Amino acid sequence: MEIRGKCVVPGITKGELIVSFEPISFLGDIDPKTGNIISIKHPLKNHSIADKIFAFPHGKGSTVGSYIMYQLRKNGKAPKAIINQEAEAIIAVGAIISDIPMINGIDINQLPHGARVEINAEKGIIKFL
C-alpha cells in the first residue's frame, strides 16, 4: 500500500512510524538531548522520536522549534523523516536546516503507530513494508 503527499524536503529512508494525533512543539515538548517527548500532557510522553519516522498533524509554538530540530540532528537524536498533515513554516525550516526528509499533505489517521514504512520524500510517497 502507498500513500502520496507532497515533498517539503527530499530524501529516502526506512523506519518505524511514531504517530502523534496531536500537534507538537519541538520547543518544550521534545528533549533535544534524548529525542524523548517530555510534555506531561502529550499522550506519547516518554516515547522517543530518535531514528523513527515521526508523523504528526502540524507543529505549534515558537520559532525556536526549528533550532531544536537542528539540535536533535547534531545530537544524533533526530527523526529519520517527518510526515505532516499540514506543514507549517517552523517545522519545514527545521527539517530543511537539519536535512530531515519531510512530506506534507498526509491524512495522519491513515498511519498506524509502529508500522514499518519506506519514505521517498522527493516523490511524496509512503510505502508500507
User: Domain segments of the chain: what residues?
Assistant: 2-128
Length of the chain: 129
pLDDT at 45: 96
CB-CB contact of 20 with 44 (8 Å): yes
Rounded distance between C-alpha atoms, residue 101 and residue 119, angstroms: 8
CB-CB contact of 27 with 68 (8 Å): yes
pLDDT at 1: 87
User: What's the fold here for domain 2-128?
Assistant: Glucose Oxidase; domain 1 (3.50.30)
Torsional sign, CA 80, 126, 123, 82: negative
pLDDT at 26: 95
pLDDT at 69: 97
Render the burial of 10-41: b for 16+ CB within 10 Å, e for the rest: ebebebebbbbeebbbbbebbbbeebbbeeee
**Beta-carbon contacts of residue 70 (< 8 Å; ≥ 6 apart):** 94, 97, 98
pLDDT at 38: 97
Q: State the catalytic residue, choosing from 20, 25, 62, 66.
A: 62
39 carries an active-site annotation: no
Phi, psi of 116 (to 5 degrees): -95, 130
pLDDT in tens for each of the 129 residues of the chain?
Answer: 899 999 999 999 999 999 999 999 999 999 999 999 999 999 999 999 999 999 999 999 888 999 999 999 999 999 999 999 999 999 999 999 999 999 999 999 999 999 999 999 999 999 999
